[in-house]
Amino acid sequence: MPELPEVETTVAGLRQLLDGEQIVRAETRRDNLRWPFPADLRQRLTGAKIIGLSRRAKYGLVHTDRDDIMIFHLGMSGRWRIDPDTIEKHDHFIIETKSGRIAALNDPRRFGSVDIIRNEHLADYKAFIAMGPEPLSDDFTALNLQSKLSGKSSIIKTALLDQRIVAGLGNIYACEALYMSGILPSSKAGAISKPRLETLVAAIKSVLASAIEAGGSTLRDFAAPDGELGYFSKQWLVYGRENETCLKGHVIGRSVQGGRSTFYCPKCQK
């Protein structure tokens, strides 16, 4: 589920719950998700006050008054359950605040992760070192994208999933943005003209902003005990819609690139 907009929405929901709160309990219910939980995770969180939450690419960051940052990733199936009535099978990590609120990280496939680092090591954090610009920031421009794609022989769909090129896009929004900008996913990344990159950059910003807005409208649901996020899924133009029609009535196709499904319109995208 979680690409950038879903993580943004998740962080916004957690912020309402956790910002300014003191952690009285941090519990790991197994040894690891994708990676082992840090041995000192619980100790560093217990008693700490949360002074802010933020996001980088698909990672959520929880800042504490001990100059620590807890970094979580939702993988393919992760979500935070808020004030659950009961702890369920895949609730692997639980935070309880002084005011009695509970956030439980539920992740059936366990591709997610939880880590904790010192503030001053944020820029050196392995996942962030070579990471590209935030797509919604002013740093992400056609000029920037062009410089990163120049000379690349890989196809644009694959390049958009490369977090070093631009950070936070996943399979859904890469497909959507390419459709919106009329670019064939199999186009050689380094051969796309500047004007078309301008269109692509605008499409990426647009689709992500729209998805965040849609997610933002369901924050109340997020905060429910078994809440699910609204995933913008009703607004998908091509993703998950093989053999259905695009906006112009053409049949949507599916191919596989780099092991991931690509949905596209063979007539609208050149």
Partner DNA sequence: ACGCACCCCTGTGCGC
Partner DNA sequence: TGCGCACAGGGGTGCG
Q: Which residues are designated catalytic?
A: 2-3, 58, 260
Output the CA–CA distances (angstroms, integers) from residue 87 to 29, 121, 147, in the order listed.
Answer: 10, 33, 48
- Of residues 31, 85, 89, 248, which one binds DNA by CB under 7 A? 89
Q: Which is nearer to DNA, 48 or 105 (CB)?
A: 105
| Exposed / middle / buried, residue 36 (Cβ in 10 Å: 0-12, 13-18, 19+) | middle
- Of residues 64, 97, 171, 218, which one binds DNA by CB under 7 A? 171
Q: Tell me phi and psi for residue 245, to 5 degrees.
A: -105, 150
* Residue carrying the six token digits 């849609």: 214
- Of residues 44, 56, 63, 73, which one binds DNA by CB under 7 A? 73
Q: Is 158 in the site for DNA (CB under 7 A)?
A: yes
Min dist. Cβ of residue 210 to DNA (A): 14
- Of residues 163, 206, 210, 255, which one binds DNA by CB under 7 A? 163
Min dist. Cβ of residue 14 to DNA (A): 18
- Of residues 6, 8, 91, 115, which one binds DNA by CB under 7 A? 6
CA distance 59 to 155: 25
Q: Is 28 in the site for DNA (CB under 7 A)?
A: no
Q: Which residues contact 160 (CB under 8 A, 6 or more apart)?
A: 166, 169, 174, 177, 178, 204
Number of residues that bind DNA (CB under 7 A): 35
Min dist. Cβ of residue 99 to DNA (A): 31
CA distance 226 to 224: 6
Q: Is 157 in the site for DNA (CB under 7 A)?
A: no
**Beta-strand relationship, 113-118 and 102-106:** unpaired
Q: Which is nearer to DNA, 89 or 248 (CB)?
A: 89
Q: Is 231 in the site for DNA (CB under 7 A)?
A: yes
CA nearest to 236, candidates 184, 173, 168: 173
Q: Is 210 in the site for DNA (CB under 7 A)?
A: no
Give the three-state DSSP class for 158: helix
- Of residues 98, 109, 194, 250, which one binds DNA by CB under 7 A? 109
Scan residues 127-156 and list those touching DNA (CB under 7 A). 127, 152-155
H helical segments located in the chain: 4-18, 41-45, 126-129, 142-149, 156-161, 171-180, 194-216, 219-222
Contact pattern for DNA over residues 233 through 262, marking x by CB under 7 A? x-----------------------xxxxx-
Q: Max CA-CA distance within the chain?
A: 58
**Interacting residue ranges for DNA, rule: CB under 7 A:** 1-3, 6, 34, 57-58, 73, 75-77, 89-90, 108-111, 127, 152-155, 158, 161, 163, 170-172, 231, 233, 257-261
